[in-house]
Structure 1
Amino acid sequence: MKTYLVGGAVRDRLLGLPAGDRDWVVVGATPQRMLDLGYKPVGRDFPVFLHPDTGEEHALARTERKSGRGHRGFVVDADPSVTLEDDLLRRDFTINAIAQDQDGRLVDPHGGARDIERRVLRHVGPAFVEDPLRVLRAARFMARLAPLGFSVADETMALMRQMADSGELDALVPERVWQELRRALASARPSAFLDTLRRCGALRAVLPEVDALYGVPQRAEYHPEVDTGIHQQMVSDMAARLAPGDAVIGFAALAHDLGKALTPEEELPRHVMHEQRGVKPVRALCERLKVPAEHRELAVMACREHLNVHRVFELRDATVHELLSRCDAFRKPERIAQLATVCEADKRGRGGSEEADYPQGAELQRLHHAALAVGARDIACEGLSGAAVGQALARARTAAIAVARKRQV
């Protein structure tokens, strides 16, 4: 029985990145042997155990054989005779197929360390095509590694195109698609995720609402990049810059302009009413991928309200209050800072505006704080009940917004 450190921990050490979770592969052991040593079983699809002291995952070395469609269609063999090299061969990319023994020596049969030096994301072997989830994983790794200079190997991109063309991606379960998308949106360069999927033809299968944005023109005086899909990539990257690691804001940024794909051709390059048109595809996307409520609610809000936030200095006091009420900002006040960040990413995610100021975000939050300071205890409620109390509170909060604006002047 031998134990090796594998995967991301080895890869990230070679990249000089901070250490994350450590995963281990165990060669020459049986499930019973692991139980006898005090390990706790946690794997459902294959034998994985938690170390009795460290709690780190230890998986038995295994091979996988394709038995059906999708990423679940595999037969797993975790017999003690499976070697470390057998286990590394089943992995997706060479940079993830490196092991380290207890003396610190690397076992690297597929040249992963060399590919790290060359900054190349390359598949391990022909079995790569058997798991459609690997297309999404490649794109997600690019969202993390593109800032370090990585690119996808030509031969790997060719296989990904083959997988996209085969229709295998249709077999992916929504939860796994969402998991990869969420992790990509929390990475440093989400645009690399979108670009990689689009280059191999997979974006239209995974995110058709986003894929439809490419090639849709916008007015050049507001969007020097013109192409709505390119604008979307820039917005996603700006959201990652403004709110690093925040997939809630990242998803809202991704979905904010979906309505532009529905603009009638005769109206282009103008996009009147795209905010209202976009709500339906945002909700459809969230329903299909089973997006969590927190992400969904901010995405719908950002789609519907982003132009109102851009115009906040022009809005009437009552209109500002109505915007805040639609966002449920008095029960969930944290939403307004999130919305302001998404709108700032939209405004700065365009050619020549990357370093622009966005005073609208601060103004929206300032007016929100002024209105939020007014509660039911601050108004004369005697003799009022039901809806009348709410109306009085709305008037008082609108008045607080007006006062805050005058103080600003």
Structure 2
Amino acid sequence: MQVYLVGGAVRDALLGREVKERDYVVVGATPEQLIKQGYQQVGKDFPVFLHPKTKEEYALARTERKQGQGYTGFICDFTPDVTLEQDLIRRDLTVNAIAQAEDGTLVDPFGGQSDIENRLLRHVSDAFSEDPLRILRVARFAARYHYLGFSIAPETERLLIAMVKAGELETLTAERVWLECEKSLSDGAFAEFLNTLFKIGGLHVISPTLESQWSDALYQTMQARFDYANKHSITDTALLFSQVTLSLTESDIHTIAQQIRLPNEVRDVALNTVAHRSILTDKQPDCDALLGCFNRLDLWRRPERLNAVLKALEISEQKPVACITQLHQVTEQASAVDPQQFIAQGIKGADIKTALENARLSIIKNYFS
């Protein structure tokens, strides 16, 4: 039985990046052997095991045979005679198909080290086209390593374009598309991810409207926003994704939410930011409109909604909104108005709400009239 470190850990170590997790491939073993050594199998039909102490993943060397459509239609063979090279050839990119033996020796049958030196993302074999998920994965890797000068190899880019034209992206589940978006947002390189998808004709998998609007100018705008977020250590997924939807309508956002199954909190921040952007960025907002904004955001019970919108707008402008100080002061005072004071005055029924609205509006006018 031989154990090799594989994939991202080897790649990132060669790039001098922090290695966050380690995956291993085991050659010449059976599931029974690993279980006897205390490894815990993950799933019933997939040969992945957790180390008894480190809980790192150890997968039996395997081959894959395509059967059916999409990215799940594969049959795995993980018998002990599957070689390391057979395992590596099923991987997506050469930079991800390098293994490291326990003595530190690198096994690199497909030129991954050379491609790392030349900053190229190149597919390992023709089997690449059997898995449509790899379209998004390559876009994500291209975005993540763009700052290091990486680009997609011409032959791989041609293959990606052909796969997109063949409708391969349409076989992916909405949840899987969102997961790849979420990973790219976490990388802090989402603008580059979107731009890469646009170049290969695949941005419609997120939003056909966004694809129709895309331009170098919009890309540069997105890049500036994400650079600001990175600089200020803003990592909240909903805040980051809202930057992509600021040029879209509320109807467009609802379409995206359905198309790629946006989590509710991501969808809501995007919708609220688009809906209230103009009033909250106005240096002298209309007082009645501002009160309406607060009411629709349910500021009085959900102050975090307004805070999220203001932070999203800060990212979009790369600075806090013009009247941020006054907004914080007015919301603090208006939120402190207690309806019990009106009840104590003998006001009843619907008139309590009217009195409350008038009191809050009066506070707003003190700041913005």
Amino acid at match of 1:22: R
State the 1:180 CA deviation. Answer: 0.5
State the 1:252 CA deviation. Answer: 1.1
| Aligned-partner Cα distance in 2 for 1:203–1:337 | 30
| Aligned-partner Cα distance in 1 for 2:211–2:141 | 20
State the 1:248 CA deviation. Answer: 1.0
Asked if structure 2 preserves the Cα contact closer than 8 Å seen for 1:38 and 1:52, the reply is: yes
In structure 2, the residue matched to 1:369 is: 332
Does residue 329 (structure 1) correspond to residue 299 (structure 2)? The answer is: yes
**Structure 1 residues 101-250: aligned runs within 5 Å:** 101-214=101-214, 228=218, 231-232=221-222, 234-242=224-232, 244-250=234-240
Q: Please, which of 375, 378, 398 is the counterpart of residue 361 of structure 2?
A: 398
State the TM-score, normalizing by the size of structure 2.
Answer: 0.91
Q: Could you say what secondary structure the match of 2:81 adopts?
A: coil
State the 1:131 CA deviation. Answer: 0.7
State the 1:293 CA deviation. Answer: 0.7
Q: Could you say what secondary structure the match of 1:300 adopts?
A: helix
In structure 2, the residue matched to 1:308 is: 279
Residue 365 to residue 256, structure 1, CA distance change in 2 (3 Å) = farther
Residue 391 to residue 5, structure 1, CA distance change in 2 (3 Å) = farther
Does residue 92 (structure 1) correspond to residue 92 (structure 2)? The answer is: yes
State the 1:197 CA deviation. Answer: 0.8
Asked if structure 2 preserves the Cα contact closer than 8 Å seen for 1:240 and 1:246, the reply is: no
In structure 2, the residue matched to 1:293 is: 264
| Aligned-partner Cα distance in 2 for 1:78–1:391 | 71
Identity %: 41
Residue 385 to residue 253, structure 1, CA distance change in 2 (3 Å) = farther
| Aligned-partner Cα distance in 1 for 2:300–2:44 | 43
339-348 or 94-103, which moves further after superposition?
339-348
| Aligned-partner Cα distance in 2 for 1:390–1:42 | 57
Q: Could you say what secondary structure the match of 1:17 adopts?
A: coil
Amino acid at match of 2:168: E
State the 1:211 CA deviation. Answer: 0.4
| Aligned-partner Cα distance in 2 for 1:128–1:98 | 16
**Structure 1 residues 38-57: aligned runs within 5 Å:** 38-43=38-43, 46-57=46-57
| Aligned-partner Cα distance in 1 for 2:91–2:219 | 32
Amino acid at match of 2:195: D
State the TM-score, normalizing by the size of structure 1.
Answer: 0.82
In angstroms, what is the RMSD of aligned CA positions? Answer: 2.4
State the 1:170 CA deviation. Answer: 0.8
Structure 1 alignment gaps of length 5 or more: 216-224, 259-277, 349-355
State the 1:297 CA deviation. Answer: 0.6
1:102-138: per-residue Cα shift (whole Å, max 9, x none)?
2222222222222222222221111111111111011
Asked if structure 2 preserves the Cα contact closer than 8 Å seen for 1:186 and 1:240, the reply is: no
In structure 2, the residue matched to 1:20 is: 20
Residue 127 to residue 364, structure 1, CA distance change in 2 (3 Å) = farther
1:71-93: per-residue Cα shift (whole Å, max 9, x none)?
11111111111111111111111
| Aligned-partner Cα distance in 1 for 2:78–2:350 | 65
State the 1:200 CA deviation. Answer: 0.9
Residue 308 to residue 239, structure 1, CA distance change in 2 (3 Å) = farther
1:52-74: per-residue Cα shift (whole Å, max 9, x none)?
11111111111111112111111
In structure 2, the residue matched to 1:359 is: 322
Residue 8 to residue 372, structure 1, CA distance change in 2 (3 Å) = farther
Residue 145 to residue 328, structure 1, CA distance change in 2 (3 Å) = farther
In structure 1, the residue matched to 2:312 is: 342
Asked if structure 1 preserves the Cα contact closer than 8 Å seen for 2:195 and 2:219, the reply is: no
Residue 338 to residue 82, structure 1, CA distance change in 2 (3 Å) = same
Residue 373 to residue 54, structure 1, CA distance change in 2 (3 Å) = farther
Residue 45 to residue 376, structure 1, CA distance change in 2 (3 Å) = farther
Asked if structure 2 preserves the Cα contact closer than 8 Å seen for 1:239 and 1:253, the reply is: no
Q: Please, which of 230, 236, 247 is the counterpart of residue 257 of structure 1?
A: 247
State the 1:285 CA deviation. Answer: 0.8
Does residue 282 (structure 1) correspond to residue 272 (structure 2)? The answer is: no
1:169-200: per-residue Cα shift (whole Å, max 9, x none)?
11001111000011122322212111111111
Residue 153 to residue 245, structure 1, CA distance change in 2 (3 Å) = farther
| Aligned-partner Cα distance in 1 for 2:150–2:242 | 27
| Aligned-partner Cα distance in 1 for 2:42–2:90 | 21
| Aligned-partner Cα distance in 2 for 1:129–1:190 | 24
Asked if structure 1 preserves the Cα contact closer than 8 Å seen for 2:12 and 2:18, the reply is: yes
Asked if structure 1 preserves the Cα contact closer than 8 Å seen for 2:188 and 2:226, the reply is: no
1:325-353: per-residue Cα shift (whole Å, max 9, x none)?
212233222222321222233334xxxxx
| Aligned-partner Cα distance in 2 for 1:237–1:208 | 25
| Aligned-partner Cα distance in 2 for 1:23–1:372 | 51
Does residue 381 (structure 1) correspond to residue 343 (structure 2)? The answer is: yes
| Aligned-partner Cα distance in 2 for 1:191–1:95 | 23
Amino acid at match of 1:92: D
Residues paired across the two proteins, number: 368
1:134-162: per-residue Cα shift (whole Å, max 9, x none)?
11011111221112221111111111001
Amino acid at match of 2:302: K
Structure 2 alignment gaps of length 5 or more: none
Residue 45 to residue 192, structure 1, CA distance change in 2 (3 Å) = farther
| Aligned-partner Cα distance in 1 for 2:96–2:348 | 64
